[in-house]
Chains A and B, each alone.
Chain A
């Protein structure tokens, strides 16, 4: 068994921690992590619940491959109803926290209610207890992790926590583990904050003992690690350049959204790219990048560890940021950089550090700044309102607005509501580059058509990780498709969405899919887990997970109109580059996608579809 068959249920209102058996029938139907935790959530909460009320629940979950030697088997997922979107929220993270949950003997932790005072959950193997966190409230994620390790006199404790952003219920607050990994999107950190839960700290010494056939598992996982090592993307590109390998590539394609999606190429892309991170700085002769780093069990090691320029204006008087730390990854570099027209690598890293330190999603945050800067340029927002001048391209504004948002100061409070609420408040909802209220990541829907459909239909709001068709449309994985056409994209998006759901449910990283298909994952699941794990079963499981999430969203009140892109992407053609003259073909792709999904024209799964999937 890849599972421990044990769920920890924590009622924060009552202050109780209870053990219950994992529902193994659901495990057979939903595998783990994203799939299984979502099944629990949709079975236990009212879809119409206020996401920040005690009636919402938050589940931290591992998959059967989490905590194993399967490459990248270190992921855990946070599933809840998201405050940014009102849709299902499901954010996963690497680092070492997920594996520790397995080693402590648990598959998932269900957090419900609201604690009357700040607490943190401390789990040491079978023993779980809520501990007063009054002295931690107000501390950053970094300080919290250190304080908890110190308190328990145990440097091996693994911690997931919220910083000021989560405490202040910034709607894109994230949950940070192991200093710079995060369950980043959809505001899961705000839900944690609403529950007065500062952190979850784990220590496990039991290990994962129930692998079905350890000998077969060791053999197959070793074979599949070799596949990753031999692949140009996972074996060379990602370890050397990280996800930042994409900055120049996407810019050349004319698909790098720039200045709140007004432009599709950024003139300073080269200055904030992977290549720039490898170059020696004129100021101190050092490279920005220190090394690459791996999450638990990962043989790719795409993570970036960098050192900011100590003389940069953002940190010159602030030595606590001088050491090596996480970043920049591509999405953050784009959102903090191109989306705002800021081409100062060190300023982006400073903003990124603050996001990690205080627990904010740099994608949603950066993209919201893009909207603020556009509104400022139009004169809708003024220096008096914002507190500073906020022109596109201003590194000073980026740095200051990051501080203000992370700490909940002044106009930062409004930024913390995300771009949809902010743009709506100031009379320009059309300038919010979001779907379902969640900000776009780093690919322009005009230059990479499949990503437009990906964003529009993603169950957690605009997101690249639900169907990363960039793999096919840009990198030719598994087959090359033309990024500029809508043809075949509905099929492509559906196939990616369903397969990705299985990767997520297994507890592994979706980046493996640059080299692995589901057929590479299947034998690893088969060797780890009791039961039959045919390709047919897994394919159907992915589709089942997708439809389950969709049903929740529909019941929460989301409809076809929420599967749409902002008018800018549909009416303002790309000005330059290969996509010049193109707008997103979302209106053409969406009905076709619904039909392929077996949904009605209104985007509701038909009874026949539900019956086929056993929903």
Chain B
């Protein structure tokens, strides 16, 4: 594997310019601005940094944000795979319309998404008015938070899996099926491994988007301290107290978590590709 890659590196041209452009642009748009945040947050010294990031509200917000984002990404992983499969393999009337709709959460400003969700799931909304009498608080609660994060993360899994699935020959499953495997076995053993990198990538992006989401969340979560207050809001609150350094410190924690998550998933992806190649 490694050898063939080295061979590849020698064979194809364009490595220098493309990597250079990537690094330069990434540096200008992401790395230098993010470095200014690191400098700001770390300038206050470890003791103050620690007290800024370990306050009870900050810690509670990490728990709330991370658990909700994980749940939302899991929902999106399952539902997104199903939807991508439907769109690619099971033609049904109105498929193209559904396909077009998937990207809606991207196009909508997050705040509009939040307001629209609240209009549907709020106590006097279309769904809320049915759910509330059953004791299901679909807005201003953890459920509302979960709904908002699921909404903004929905396109990521579908759009990551869909192109790979479209490229995948249905004959692979057919062959496995013909060899006596059940539909589920042929899916699990022949198709799922190929989809895994894309699926993981979509899951990670949905997770990351959920962790960072602000606009959609503040309208529907209720923002109660310790219960439904997300970390983005904690950052905003610190800014409103003119505490730039404290805000930067909490932001650094968010950045670090996100970066670790993304690194882990990218490593996993690399491993699953190696497995496939073997």
Verify that A and B bind, or say they do not. no
A residues at B contact (CB < 8 Å): none
